[in-house]
Structure 1
Amino acid sequence: MSPESYVKRPGWFTNKVLNRTVSWLSRRGVSLAGSRVLAVKGRKSGEWRRTPVNPLHHDGGLYLVAARGHVQWTRNMRAAGDGELFHGRRGRHFTAAEVPDAEKPEILRAYLRKWKWEVGAFFEVGPDSSDEEIRAVADRHPVFRLTLTD
């Protein structure tokens, strides 16, 4: 399996209950541990697509990590290069640059320290794993550095 085809699909409960609940709360300004709603234009349809995400503030940067792998929002982000993060009704526009695998270990480690309770099942490593272990799975988890533009 190529790294680009790595996807951990959500189960029924996550897809039908958890994601919808987090999105509903976030649209009303209630954040679960900093969660937001990502809006990015679809690469084929051009329509706005929304999904709950867990932004990471790390070392002066803002990042989105795809815990489930190369999912639709990552493919759309690559094509669009920008999007919006919503908390309540307020959206913040950003541009996005994909982080090379060599730069991911520190970011993935910080992400797992903050979000392991929610996303740990989608990683074969943890926050205490070595750089070598994290590098071995880095290509399965896209990471985007966001630059807020407003």
Structure 2
Amino acid sequence: MSRRAVLSGASGAREGGAGASARYLAPGWFTARVFNPAVALLTRRGLPLAGSRVLAVRGRSSGEWRTTPVNPLEVGGVRHLVAPRGTTQWVRNLRAAEQGELRVGRRSEAFRAVELPDADKVPVLREYLRRWAWEVGAFFDGVGAGASDEELLAAAPKHPVFRIEPLR
């Protein structure tokens, strides 16, 4: 599979749910084998980079914990998770489980995840790009934090966004 493999159509997307088309941009070798493992290791050791956390979600088939580094984002006092690469495995697992944990060091926060409809994603995507464009901007097809609301709304179906609601 190529680094920028794109899946489209209804396959992989939840029927009737947010994101009518599924899109996944696979990470390159360096990201998958070096960067993400390094960020996850540092975060597990209690040294998060740029506010990173390790997302833990039960696998939708295996029930085993699956982990990946993520960048939670607070907008208007509400925390969110944004999937810059599209409908990744963690997105599919979170849609199925509807809850997970955000971990840093020995601390773990259980949460409920609520996927946002595309119309509600604009301010979250704008802030996400403002804060992390240096890391994820390439996955937004030229759309940046300074884009119009219409441009961000057009990009919204490609990027699942979840509101994080603490369980404890």
What SS class does the counterpart of residue 154 from structure 2 fall into?
Answer: helix
- Deviation string 1:83-134 (CA, Å, 9 cap, x unpaired) is 0000111110000000000001111001101111110011121000001111
The alpha-carbon deviation at position 5 of structure 1 amounts to 2.5
The alpha-carbon deviation at position 4 of structure 1 amounts to 3.2
**Equivalent residue number for residue 12 of structure 2:** none
Query: Which one has the bigger helix percentage?
Result: 1
How many aligned positions are there?
150
Q: Please, which of 104, 107, 132 is the counterpart of residue 90 of structure 1?
A: 107
What SS class does the counterpart of residue 79 from structure 2 fall into?
Answer: strand
**Equivalent residue number for residue 104 of structure 1:** 121
Query: Does residue 139 of structure 1 match 2:160?
Result: no
Give every structure 1 segment of 4 or more consecutive aligned residues whose post-TM-superposition deviation is greater than 6 Å. none
The alpha-carbon deviation at position 148 of structure 1 amounts to 1.1
- Gaps spanning 5+ residues in structure 1: where? none
CA RMSD of aligned residues (A): 0.8
**Equivalent residue number for residue 33 of structure 2:** 16
The alpha-carbon deviation at position 137 of structure 1 amounts to 1.2
- Gaps spanning 5+ residues in structure 2: where? 1-7, 10-19
Where do residues 1-150 of structure 1 align in structure 2 (5 Å cutoff)?
A: 1-2=8-9, 4-124=21-141, 125-150=143-168
> For 1:112 and 1:78, how far apart are their aligned partners in 2?
23
What SS class does the counterpart of residue 121 from structure 2 fall into?
Answer: helix
> For 1:4 and 1:32, how far apart are their aligned partners in 2?
31
TM-score by length of 1: 0.98
- Deviation string 1:24-50 (CA, Å, 9 cap, x unpaired) is 000000011100000000001111000
- Deviation string 1:40-78 (CA, Å, 9 cap, x unpaired) is 000011110000000001101000000000000000000
Q: Give the partner amino acid of 1:79.
A: A
CA distance 1:34–1:138, shift in 2 (3 Å): same
Q: Give the partner amino acid of 1:108.
A: L
> For 1:70 and 1:144, how far apart are their aligned partners in 2?
12
Give the share of equivalent positions with the same residue, in percent: 57
What SS class does the counterpart of residue 147 from structure 2 fall into?
Answer: coil
